[in-house]
């Protein structure tokens, strides 16, 4: 009995394998069905291989745009964000009037976002790239669902950048590089006025840094070109800046 069961299973697998490979390779409809079947079952590695072969064989097929996005989405599903970004960017560039171009632009931003570190003590270049991509989408397609999603993502990106700037400012303060510390916190408030929690702390830190900077200058007889504040402002102007910042606390 076990032998019979094994025999049945063996030939069932053989039959299934043969059926999955039966196709007219010159028929784009049948070839597309064969190429897309692993994508539908989320077998993305196989899907990428088959869909790429389909794209190479039928570059002008009716479903070619759909295939291009499926390849991009498959890479995204595998967390291969560099490859996915390339595919989405190509789609957006080569098919600017396609109904799915807003989606591809949004997904390109998502690829950058996924590559960006959540930790604010790390470089945020990919966060900037994601935000820039979503801003382009909003300008080009302001009334789509993806522009709304992009706006929400940009809010998250701005907060991450603001937190990153706060981290860098605190680093310079700890290192007692007061002109760099003050500059970071002053710019943080200018760039992100919508975060009152950060603005209050930033203004406080800027005041402390500027005051210590002036004290250090007097004690150590620092040169006027030691930092941008001393180079471009008089001591009285710096004191006026301190007073102005304090009035906002």
Closest CA to 25 of 35, 37, 17: 35
CA distance 169 to 184: 5
Residue 14 counted as domain residue:
no
Mean per-residue pLDDT pooled into runs of 10, the chain (249 residues): 42 38 72 95 97 96 96 98 98 96 98 97 97 98 97 97 97 94 96 92 96 82 65 91 93
- Give the pLDDT score at 223: 55
Which residues contact residue 145 at a Cβ distance below 8 angstroms, ignoring those fewer than 6 apart?
Answer: none
CA distance 28 to 60: 10
Residue 208 counted as domain residue:
yes
Residue 138 counted as domain residue:
no
- Give the pLDDT score at 225: 54
- Give the pLDDT score at 228: 75
CA distance 81 to 116: 11
Residue 193 counted as domain residue:
yes
Residue 230 counted as domain residue:
yes
Residue 111 counted as domain residue:
no
DSSP letters for 125-163:
HHHHHHHHHHHHHHHH-TTSHHHHHHHHHHHHHHHHHHH
The pTM assigned to this predicted structure is: 0.83
Residue 125 counted as domain residue:
no
**Site of tokens 């077998």:** 43
Domain total for the chain? 1
Q: Which domain holds residue 230?
A: 176-249
Residue 234 counted as domain residue:
yes
- Give the pLDDT score at 7: 36
The residue length of the chain stands at 249
Q: Let me know: does 154 contact 114? Beta carbons within 8 Å.
A: no
- Give the pLDDT score at 62: 93
Which residues contact residue 82 at a Cβ distance below 8 angstroms, ignoring those fewer than 6 apart?
Answer: 111, 115
- Give the pLDDT score at 21: 53
């Amino acid at each position: 009995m076990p032998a019979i069961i094994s025999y049945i299973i063996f030939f069932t697998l053989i039959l299934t394998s043969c059926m999955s490979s039966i196709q007219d390779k010159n028929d784009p409809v049948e070839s597309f069905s064969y190429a897309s079947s692993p994508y539908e079952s989320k077998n993305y590695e196989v899907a990428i291989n088959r869909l790429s072969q389909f794209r190479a064989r039928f570059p002008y097929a009716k479903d070619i745009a759909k295939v291009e996005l499926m390849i991009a989405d498959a890479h995204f599903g595998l967390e291969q964000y560099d490859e996915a970004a390339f595919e989405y960017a190509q789609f957006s560039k080569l098919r600017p009037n396609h109904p799915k171009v807003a989606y591809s632009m949004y997904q390109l931003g998502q690829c950058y976002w996924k590559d960006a570190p959540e930790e604010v003590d790390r470089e945020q270049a990919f966060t900037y790239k994601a935000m820039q991509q979503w801003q382009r989408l909003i300008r080009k397609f302001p009334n789509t669902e993806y522009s709304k999603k992009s706006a929400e993502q940009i809010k998250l990106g701005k907060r991450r950048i603001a937190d990153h700037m706060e981290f860098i400012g605190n680093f310079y303060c700890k290192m007692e590089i007061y002109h760099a510390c003050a500059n970071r916190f002053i710019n943080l408030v200018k760039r992100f006025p919508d975060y009152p929690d950060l603005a209050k702390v930033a203004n406080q830190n800027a005041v402390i840094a500027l005051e210590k900077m002036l004290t250090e200058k007097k004690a150590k007889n620092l040169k006027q070109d030691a930092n941008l504040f001393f180079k471009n402002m008089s001591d009285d102007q710096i004191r006026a800046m301190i007073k102005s910042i304090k009035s906002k606390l």
